[in-house]
Structure 1
């Protein structure tokens, strides 16, 4: 199964918030710089994530995005559905090609989609963070402001 670039960027952005954010609001520009994702594109994705209740935005100085739930509660399934809608068989088989062909076991594809959906549901952002820590992925700090009084 293939995921769109939007899903890839959404997972990277949420991982960055969970792994590097420390519970503080992080601007999309900072996430984009750290994950090498175009800021404009990432902002559109974060709007979808906000509408899905996965992130919350804070406006004004010191504003940005935070996770709206704990990293353990946000699954890859939720991320995919926030960006692309429900996971189905569309990425597994082209139903237009296979519909109406006698003897084709269509149940195989729906079963595979169901199993794949279960895998996505079983992996949380916290799982990704734990795996990153085990592999020694460095935590990236927020840029230091050059504002002086």
Structure 2
């Protein structure tokens, strides 16, 4: 059942590997549409794709984005329980058309423990592993996806 006041996206919980519902507050979507009507709004299509099929996921968000020259601070304050999933979507929506994702960038979706998404952005890719964000070891406390077998 849809939760009132949220845009819902079906996906995978990186902590368990189970099906899960990600939510984005409609007030956040409206704010993005009003204040950032360009790519930030259209990147919601990439959010929907990524939550269902991501390459990596991390637990524990750090506020080091300024060290990498990112134009915005994706994480306002450290959050040891915050989650970030990353990957390269198959396409990117720009206005009324779909285009290839930008070369050299990985898409990141930031959410809380309830899988409520609070931010998303394209981050420069790690030169050694193109589907990971540059500096992922410093940005996050722990990599939790892909799951490793012991």
Give TM-score scaled by structure 2 length. 0.27
Query: Hey, which of these two has a bigger chunk of helix by percent?
Result: 1
User: Which structure has the greater CA radius of gyration?
Assistant: 1
Query: Hey, which of these two has a bigger chunk of strand by percent?
Result: 2
Give TM-score scaled by structure 1 length. 0.27
**RCO comparison, higher one (Cα < 8 Å, 6+):** 1
